Structure 1
Amino acid sequence: MGSPVAGFVGPPGWDDPSPAEFCSITGVAAIGSSLDLGDFDWSLDRIATTEPAIVEVAVDLVARGATAIGIVGTPFGWAGLDDDERPRCRNDRIARACDAPVVSAASGMLDWLDDLGARRVALAATYYDRDWCDRWERFVKAQGPTVTLCASMADLDIVEGPLDAADETHWAPTPEQIEQTVVGVLRPAGADAVILSGAGARTVSCHERLAAAAGVPVVSADLGLYRSLIRTIRHEWTARPPRHVERPTWWPEIEIDV
């Protein structure tokens, strides 16, 4: 059996950092390709129709050597599903079509919550608009957890609303803005964890800081996807100095066949 290769299906019109970042952290080869969806309006109703396009990209990535597929962008894993349907149901359909295991940011975050045993969560929805926030909160509740608060950076007055997809400061928040959002959604007490959504909210470099500021685990979209891919390919942690000397706290436990 050859070495694993992670294949990333990226959102349309975005230079996805996931393949290079995943390779740099894990040492596992990674390739990626973005969805080509033409004039894309970024509504959840439009995202709900993208499964055939995701299949097309996944099939191409497998043909190029990918042995496992990761779907970047939280709503691409859940938009259009029935509220009580788990994102892994979509993963399974795509996996059958491309003949490789498939995970998504959405399923990865829910699996991470399961690992933690967290049942009360706060949703840090970064750059989501109100429609996205409401529908994301409804979906998470349908999966079982109680939601203490769902709020975006605009809701918390971290950026001036309305959120603007054309403004990079809105969809690519700084570590400081991400931390403010995480801390802000915890103001109603009682959450066991924070779910941090938004593929533009990159947390590899600041996850330890976020968890320290929150005082509870922070389940982020980018690392949720990476954890699931690491588990899927059963990749054990290997220190890769100088950036990653110690095993990150978010790294999943790996079950190895004996």
Structure 2
Amino acid sequence: MTTVGFLYPGHFAEDEFPRMEVILDTTIRLVVNRTEPGEDDRRPDTLRTLGEPERLAAGVEELRRAGVESVVWASTGGSFVYGWEGAHGQTTALARAAGLPASSASLGFVQAVRALGAARVAVAATYPEEIARLFSEFLAAAGIDVVATHSGGVTTAAEAAAWGPDRLKELAVAADRPEADAVLLPDTALHTTAHICDLEELLAKPVLTANQVTVFEALRLARRRTWAPQLGTLFAAREAPPAPVGWRPAGE
């Protein structure tokens, strides 16, 4: 049994994790501990407060009792607003508090892009323009070429959590560019688990979504690989795939 843990802010899309647990190998357990979400307002200062080390450290004891092997801070906005160096400092503090390997959704996106071998990406962000730009700058600092950034202008996680598949498709299509090897949806408040393969088929390229990437990162830290093509190309290869050439959606 491999057990991994997540600190998730609030309750907007935490139900994504039990859905993914059902799809994954039966020997994988996903444990979620909700942190205090604070003010639901997507401004840089609010997101920094959301990811303060003290707030995250307060949530790790329950995960330790559950026997988790790694911990991931499941908030993209609450990590990339600290910048590339700051996000690493945040997870270093979390690892010390937990006594376990730790990471964040933002750093998970970097690892997932590298696992796909993608050289260029497009960002389909629900966030306001300023926040979406900060995520693209974070990726650029990691050496990832961001060819387009599209902002959905959503100012609260509650609004993003209410989006259905049609809104997700509109967002992804608006962000996509022919030269992008993958499209990234960085909001952990979005419900995307049931729609990843549909998005990949629509765009004819890999799609990375925040909660999907967060689980991939937790399993990577626990040194557990698994095969779950229902969760898209990221989980469709038993080994990390090469750079996408003549890509086809998972399952074809």
Q: Which category of TM-score, normalised to the shorter sequence, fits these structures?
A: 0.7 to 0.9
Mapped contact 2:116–2:234 kept (Cα < 8 A) = no
More helix by share: 2
**1:197 and 2:186 are equivalent in the alignment:** yes
- Scaled by the length of structure 2, the TM-score of the pair is 0.80
Q: Distance in 2 between matches of 1:56 and 1:116?
A: 34
Q: 1:15: Cα distance to partner?
A: 5.8
1:157 corresponds to which residue?
A: none
Name the aligned partner's letter for residue 165 of structure 1.
T
Computing the radius of gyration from Cα coordinates, the structure with the larger value is: 1
Q: Distance in 2 between matches of 1:65 and 1:20?
A: 17
Q: Which among 71, 77, 87 is matched to residue 73 of structure 2?
A: 71
* Structure 1 unmatched ranges of 5 or more: 155-162, 239-243
1:98 corresponds to which residue?
A: 98
Q: Distance in 2 between matches of 1:233 and 1:166?
A: 29
Q: Distance in 1 between matches of 2:139 and 2:95?
A: 23
**1:250 and 2:248 are equivalent in the alignment:** no
Mapped contact 1:14–1:34 kept (Cα < 8 A) = no
- Scaled by the length of structure 1, the TM-score of the pair is 0.78
* Structure 2 unmatched ranges of 5 or more: 241-252
2:143 corresponds to which residue?
A: 144
2:174 corresponds to which residue?
A: 184
Mapped contact 1:119–1:144 kept (Cα < 8 A) = no
Q: 1:77: Cα distance to partner?
A: 2.5
Mapped contact 1:235–1:254 kept (Cα < 8 A) = no
Name the aligned partner's letter for residue 148 of structure 1.
V
Q: Kindly, what percent of the aligned residue pairs are identical? A: 22
Q: 1:54: Cα distance to partner?
A: 0.9
Q: 1:116: Cα distance to partner?
A: 2.1
- 2:131 is paired with a residue whose SS is helix
**Structure 1 residues 248, 138: CA separation in 2 closer, same or farther (over 3 Å shift)?**
closer
Name the aligned partner's letter for residue 91 of structure 1.
T
**Structure 1 residues 108, 10: CA separation in 2 closer, same or farther (over 3 Å shift)?**
same
Q: Distance in 1 between matches of 2:229 and 2:81?
A: 37
2:53 corresponds to which residue?
A: 51
Name the aligned partner's letter for residue 129 of structure 2.
R
Mapped contact 1:44–1:79 kept (Cα < 8 A) = yes
Q: Distance in 1 between matches of 2:32 and 2:199?
A: 28
Q: Which among 146, 164, 171 is matched to residue 174 of structure 1?
A: 164
1:210-221 equivalences under 5 Å are 210-221=199-210
Name the aligned partner's letter for residue 136 of structure 1.
F
User: Cα RMSD (Å) of the superposition?
Assistant: 2.8
